[in-house]
């Protein structure tokens, strides 16, 4: 029985280990797939950013086919400074280079017919026939290094006639360094193939590899296609150490097996406790939310009640105030209203008018709270505004046998009303 139990345990462990290794290989491939997809996206983005710059210059030439060298060089300088790795920008009219920037070695380049360069005639014809940009290369530069060449066709906007192309030389190393392919700290090894955008369709695929080890394409790599206007580059990726056959955790399975029960029990307990905690938290938050809603409703009801009260009160106050104002006007017209009596009647009328204005302010406050108020700048005379409170202050001062005088400064604020009122009340 012991041997049978031991064999059964070993058999179960062997099945478990094989399943774990299979899952590890799948996860490793998925990880490499994600890394390769990100690398492919960065590569496409870096190429497209430079293509878009060239399209702007091509669009300008389409509208201005007789562009002069100074304008071309000025625009090319701006475009070249916007992106790293752009080595040269040239204007090819027909098949002959007529413009180029920078000026270095321009004597060797200007008036050169691209059809005399091997492989360029096919690219020119392809660009003209398809009417879209073509990315060629990488090609080896005379001054050293390699570069990709972007050919963007130009058709005269007014006639549709083929003008030529705008060519951009993008240094290969600068482009690959920008996207991270030259970073030696990557966990993955990469390779690129597809000279002139041919992807995996070249006659000799080993010769089509222009970055990385050609052998990567024979070791079951993850493949990603970086799309170009005229084709694609094919990116291969796999772990630097190659694909692992077994999980690195395989030696630890025996120790893990002894802890499975404890770990599972602890995990289940924690999950249940977490579920209860989340349930209680949800209930608490729902209760808090309900309380907030109730408080909001009570507050809105209180605001409505306040607004209703203010509206009713102000309307009730306006009726007797209108009567006071009316009688004050009648008394002012009376022949008996002379001297101090006339001034007192005027004071009554002004004070009543001020109270009526306060009532109107209360109504305006209700409009403000309802979001219906409109504020308009109006010029006022400070002397006229202070006339009523000054008259009231003089009247109260006379009642208490006090001397009262006012010197109005143009900068006196409207709060003078409360100052004079306080003087008469507490002196």
Report pLDDT digits (tens) over 294-333. 888 888 777 777 777 766 777 676 677 777 777 777 776 7
At 140 the three-state DSSP class reads strand
pLDDT for position 61: 94
Helices 253-333 and 340-369 pack at an angle, to 10 degrees, of 160
Positive or negative: CA dihedral 152, 153, 154, 155: negative
Look at residue 263 and tell me whether its pLDDT is greater than 60. no
Ordered by start, the domain boundaries in the chain are 36-239, 283-374, 376-427
DSSP symbols for 77-133 = HHHHHHSTTEEEEEEEETTEEEEEES-TTHHHHTT-BGGGSTTHHHHHHHHHHH-S-
The two beta strands, 86-93 and 231-239, are unpaired
pLDDT for position 211: 92
pLDDT mean over 218-238: 91
> Using 50, 70 and 90 to split pLDDT, how confident is the model at 87?
confident
Report pLDDT digits (tens) over 399-415. 677 777 767 665 555 56
pLDDT mean over 257-282: 68
pLDDT for position 268: 53
Distance CA 31, CA 86 (A): 33
Percent of the chain at pLDDT exceeding 90: 27
Report pLDDT digits (tens) over 109-151. 888 888 888 878 888 888 888 888 899 888 887 667 899 999 9
Which CATH class for the 36-239 domain? alpha beta
User: Which helix (H) or strand (E) is 278 found in, with range?
Assistant: helix 253-333
Looking at the domain 283-374, which fold is it? Helix Hairpins (1.10.287)
Residue pair 216/205 in contact (Cβ under 8 Å)? The answer is no
> Using 50, 70 and 90 to split pLDDT, how confident is the model at 373?
low
Model pTM score: 0.54
Distance CA 179, CA 43 (A): 6
Residue pair 154/148 in contact (Cβ under 8 Å)? The answer is no
């Amino acid at each position: 029985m012991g041997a049978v139990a031991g064999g059964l345990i070993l058999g179960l462990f062997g099945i478990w280990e094989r399943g774990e290794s299979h899952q590890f290989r799948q996860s490793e491939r998925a990880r490499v797939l994600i890394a390769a997809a990100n690398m492919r996206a960065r590569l496409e983005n870096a190429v497209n950013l430079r293509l878009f710059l060239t399209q702007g210059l091509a669009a300008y030439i389409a509208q201005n086919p007789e562009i002069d060298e100074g304008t071309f060089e000025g625009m090319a300088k701006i475009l070249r400074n916007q992106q790293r790795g752009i080595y040269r920008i040239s204007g090819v009219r027909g098949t002959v280079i007529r413009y180029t920037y920078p000026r270095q070695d321009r004597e060797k380049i200007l008036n050169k017919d691209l059809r005399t360069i091997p492989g360029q005639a096919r690219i020119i014809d392809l660009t003209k026939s398809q009417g879209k940009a073509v990315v060629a290369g990488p090609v080896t530069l005379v001054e050293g290094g390699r570069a990709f060449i972007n050919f963007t066709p130009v058709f005269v906007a007014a006639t549709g006639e083929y003008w030529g192309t705008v060519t951009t030389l993008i240094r290969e190393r600068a482009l690959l360094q920008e996207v991270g392919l030259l970073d030696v700290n990557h966990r993955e090894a990469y390779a690129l193939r597809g000279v002139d955008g041919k992807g995996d369709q070249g006659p000799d695929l080993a010769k089509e590899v222009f970055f990385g080890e050609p052998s990567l394409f024979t070791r079951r790599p993850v493949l990603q296609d970086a799309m170009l206007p005229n084709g694609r580059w094919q990116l291969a990726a796999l772990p630097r150490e190659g694909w692992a056959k077994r999980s690195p955790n395989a030696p630890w399975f025996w120790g893990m097996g002894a802890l499975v029960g404890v770990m599972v029990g602890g995990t289940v307990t924690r999950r249940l406790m977490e579920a209860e905690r989340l349930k209680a938290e949800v209930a608490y938050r729902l209760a808090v939310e309900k309380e907030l809603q109730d408080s909001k409703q009570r507050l809105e009801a209180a605001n409505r009640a306040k607004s209703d009260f203010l509206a009713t009160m102000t309307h009730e106050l306006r009726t007797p105030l209108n009567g006071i104002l009316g009688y004050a006007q009648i008394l002012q017209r009376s022949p008996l209203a002379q001297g101090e009596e006339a001034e007192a009647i005027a004071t009554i009328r002004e004070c009543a008018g001020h109270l009526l204005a306060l009532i109107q302010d209360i109504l305006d406050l209700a409009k403000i709270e309802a979001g219906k108020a409109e504020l308009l700048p109006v010029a006022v005379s400070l002397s006229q505004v202070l006339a009523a409170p000054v008259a009231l202050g003089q009247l109260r001062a006379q009642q208490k046998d006090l001397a009262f005088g006012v010197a109005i400064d143009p900068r006196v604020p409207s709060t003078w009303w409360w100052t004079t009122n306080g003087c008469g009340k507490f002196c």
